Amino acid sequence: MDGVKLTNIRKAFGPFEVIRDVSLEIPKGDFGVFVGPSGCGKSTLLRMIAGLENTSGGRIEIGGRDVTHVEPAKRGVAMVFQSYALYPHLSVAENMGFSLRLARAPRHEREAKVREAARILQLTDHLDKKPSALSGGQRQRVAIGRAIVREPEVFLFDEPLSNLDAELRVQMRLELTRLHRQIGATMIYVTHDQVEAMTLADDIFVLKGGHVMQSGHPLHLYDDPDNRFVAGFIGSPSMNFVSGVVTRADDTGLVARTEEGELRARVLGPKPGPGAEVVLGIRPEHLAPVEAGGLPVRVEVAEELGGQSFVHARSASGSDIVFERRENRARLDGQALRLGAAAEKVFAFTPEGGRLR
Amino acid sequence: MTRRRLENIALAGITLTAGAIWIFPLYWAFVTSIRSDARVVSDGAGLIPDEFNPTSYVDALFNTSLIDWYINSIGTSLIITVVVLVTGMMCAYALSQMQFPGRRLLYLVVLASFMVPAQTLVVPQFELMNRLDLINRWGGIILPQLVVPVVIIVYKQFFDALPKEMKEAVVLDGGGDYTLLFRVYLPLNWGITTALGIITFIMSWNAFLWPFLVVTTENMMTIPVGITQVNDAFGVAYARVMSVALLAAAPVVIAYLIFQKRVTEAVMISSGVKG
């Protein structure tokens, strides 16, 4: 594997523990993404890998080497910051070659590496400019170039696209994917944006309260979440949740009576008996109007996106239910509907948030 | 005439009056310096220049140690300026960017020393320099002038305001504190360094009390101290005193005219008007 391996990593600021016993592995050459809400510890974890934060416990390995107590510059990592952190008084070329200059690399070697990085990032025409003369996207590319020039084993990205506008973000996302394929280095990326996580990652690590809630391939997390948090966090718009009480359970699943109606979920493993409380989750694309059964709702508004639309409806108990429509543009505003979903597309969770499979 | 126009005229009048009051001593010094000694003390000597007699300037330049004093002033002021900037910047960097026990206390000491008038320290400083055998030596003139808390305070404010990612980028690029300070932070704060350099230089050029106390050898005197010697050597020779005074002030005045914008900025930065 020889990528990045964390074993029982802990981090505490005084009595407050922000990273609690995290163990994970990102194989060499993979694109790993730490994703989670604000304060989940994802940036702290990244900074610990970089060596910018000390670890309170555990072991960090990069390329099979224990770097837990190695100084940042000797870990074989390069980091791209959200604020770019370029040196404003230096030109683009000087910014990118700064680390090689400090390492006293020969001038021709330095210039060759800077030129190559600039070519990859299409910055060749801007090498003599100061960062202040560049656009946000170009500045971010310079920051990435500064990382490339160091030829690190691991690239670390701390929310690098947050300061860019929406259009540029999409463009830079694609460029990062392309860059990853081109360079083939291990990359770890931190974001709170699950769309970025889904589109970039080979492996997503969903964090909450300093724990990894689930990790795996993006589509695996989307299709088979381990818990309600991951189910709700991955996917946009997020999964609909309705609370209910089990009325029947058999070999193939359970039927739960919610305040609004009745839904069947496929649960093959151990399942709670009648009378137990459950939470059912259905993704917007799996909900569709049905003639009978399902959840009665009243449509409020539709977000028309052209090819698809997200219809926001209100259930009898007042919760917001979103479902997706394609190809059908008939207005539904104000209409009363019943929404149903196939049992295998309905996820069941315990009231504590664990998945019933 | 509108009310606004009247206000402007009144304001212009006040400013001009204040300017006239401020410039009058300089004007009078100039008028005095171009008169002969006899004319200066004669009854009819008015405010209007009525003769041009450069004797006092020639005397000042060739019959006093003015050239020595110039060299002494330039030398000590330059050394003081460079050392104050380098040590002030390094001290501010440590206070702003490094973690060590007693950091806050040390900064409070710097702030407190900012509030102690230099004159109150004259006696203990003199005693200290005496024990170090530095009276009538360059070290004695320079050392006590090397402590300029305002330089530390201004630099610290600047370092505090820099994003911490810049420091982390340097750390990841393989640089340490000296790289960060001298290759990143210093080029970023040239404006502040120039401004602080100018006020430190002017302050040490104009310093009178301490060099006056610590130096008694004439050829080691700085210009402001040297002026007192002109008085002694020629009796009350007003024209010569004034010409030496004007020659003493000339470099600072010329520097001010050249760096006017920077000096104004420096005064504003050091007084806290502008950060």
ipTM for this model: 0.85
For residue B32, is it within any domain? Answer: no
For residue B236, is it within any domain? Answer: yes
Query: Is it the case that residue A91 has pLDDT exceeding 60?
Result: yes
Average pLDDT value for residue range B154-182: 92
pLDDT, one tens digit per residue, over A207-264 is 999 999 999 999 999 999 999 999 999 998 999 999 889 998 888 888 888 876 788 8
For residue B19, is it within any domain? Answer: no
The per-residue pLDDT for B275 is 46
Q: Find chain A residues with C-beta within 8 A of B179's C-beta.
A: 102
Q: How many CB pairs (< 8 A) connect A and B?
A: 49
Q: Confirm or reject contact between B160 and chain A (CB < 8 A).
A: no
How many domains are contained in chain B? 1
pLDDT, one tens digit per residue, over B60-107 is 888 888 889 999 999 999 999 999 999 999 999 999 999 999 999 999
The domain in which residue B263 lies consists of 64-270
Q: Confirm or reject contact between B179 and chain A (CB < 8 A).
A: yes
Segment among A86-95, A215-224, A244-253, B174-183 with least mean pLDDT: A244-253
For residue B52, is it within any domain? Answer: no
N-term to C-term CA, chain B: 40
For residue B179, is it within any domain? Answer: yes
The whole-model pTM stands at 0.83
Q: Is A4 left (phi over 0), alpha (psi -120 to 50) or beta?
A: beta
Do the chains contact at A150 and B173, CB–CB below 8 Å? Answer: yes
Residue B32: count of CB within 10 angstroms of its CB: 22
CA nearest to A189, candidates A50, A28, A32: A32
Query: Is it the case that residue A57 has pLDDT exceeding 50?
Result: yes
Rounded to the nearest angstrom, the gap between the alpha carbon of residue B116 and the centroid of all alpha carbons in its chain is 18
Q: Find chain B residues with C-beta within 8 A of A150's C-beta.
A: 173
* Local structure of A176: helix, strand or coil: helix
Q: Confirm or reject contact between A88 and chain B (CB < 8 A).
A: yes
Rounded to the nearest angstrom, the gap between the alpha carbon of residue A357 and the centroid of all alpha carbons in its chain is 24
For residue B141, is it within any domain? Answer: yes
CA nearest to B200, candidates B274, B133, B139, B252: B252
For residue B232, is it within any domain? Answer: yes
Q: Give burial (CB, 10 Å; 0-12/13-18/19+) of A196.
A: buried
For residue B50, is it within any domain? Answer: no
Query: Is it the case that residue B59 has pLDDT exceeding 90?
Result: no
Give the CATH number for residue B122: 1.10.3720.10
Q: Taking CA atoms, what residue in A is nearest to B186?
A: A89
Q: Please give the domain boundaries of chain A with CATH numbers for all domains.
A: 4-233 (3.40.50.300), 240-356 (2.40.50.140)
Q: Do strands A211-216 and A203-208 pair parallel, antiparallel, or not at all (unpaired)?
A: antiparallel
The per-residue pLDDT for A263 is 86
